[in-house]
Amino acid sequence: MKKVFMIHGFKGEPNGGWRPWLMGELAQNEIWACALPMPTPEFPVKDEWVKKISEEVKSPNEEIFLVGHSLGVPAILRYLETLPKGSKIGGSIFVSGPVFKKLEGGNEYIKIFLNEPFDFEHIKSVCKNFTVIHGDDDPNVPISDAKYLAENLSRNLILVPNGKHLNGLAGIYKLPQALDSLLKMINT
């Protein structure tokens, strides 16, 4: 059974922004989806977030798909780094995700997720497909982070015009780019 797990960002919540819409669209396509409530979103701890993803996914396989927003992106990347060689996740969608420490006043909680380079070779070996989606005018995460992520995953970058941080505060309650990308991954 195909399963989609969504991971919100810093100070986020499972049912914020476009996640309820995406869950509804996936349900119409008979795809199981769940937006995870990440522990202490106001004071995130990297190991706790990775553990939460691991506990919910249970057995990684090609029927599992991950969707992260903002801090949910490096959380997924760190989770993928923990998977043993030979594991294979079906795909990951990365929305407005930071990869460098130069963020909004230097929040220490966020920096912990970003304090070491990502092992992109291992990440690509345990996840089949990737899509990177980013607002072309994101005030929180520079577009250079999205370009770097797309380049290192050998994938194209989808830019959303006037999307800002692609969250509810930016008025984004639907994200068809994520749905389209997921359906392509799931149906290949």
Q: 9-58: per-residue pLDDT in tens? A: 999 999 999 999 999 999 999 999 999 999 999 999 999 999 999 999 99
Active-site annotation holder among 70, 92, 96, 181: 70
Q: Tokens for 56?
A: 């919910």
Contact 92, 66 (CB under 8 A): yes
Catalytic: 165?
Answer: yes
Q: What is the pLDDT, as a whole number, of residue 100?
A: 87
pLDDT along the chain (188 residues), means of 10: 96 96 96 97 96 97 98 98 96 95 67 93 97 96 96 92 96 97 93
User: In this structure, are strands 130-135 and 91-95 parallel, antiparallel, or unpaired?
Assistant: parallel
Question: Are residues 18 and 178 in contact, defined by beta-carbon separation less than 8 angstroms?
Answer: yes
The one catalytic residue among 69, 138, 145, 181: 138
Instruction: Say whether 69 is catalytic.
Output: no
Catalytic option among 134, 145, 165, 181: 165
70 is catalytic: yes
CB atoms within 10 A of CB 148: 17
What is the model's pLDDT at position 188?
Answer: 82
Could you tell me how far CA 32 lies from the centroid of its own chain? 17
Q: Which residue has the tokens 């909004």?
A: 104
Please name which of 158, 53, 181 lies closest in space to residue 113, comparing C-alpha atoms: 53
The packing angle between helices 72-82 and 46-57, to 10°, is: 70
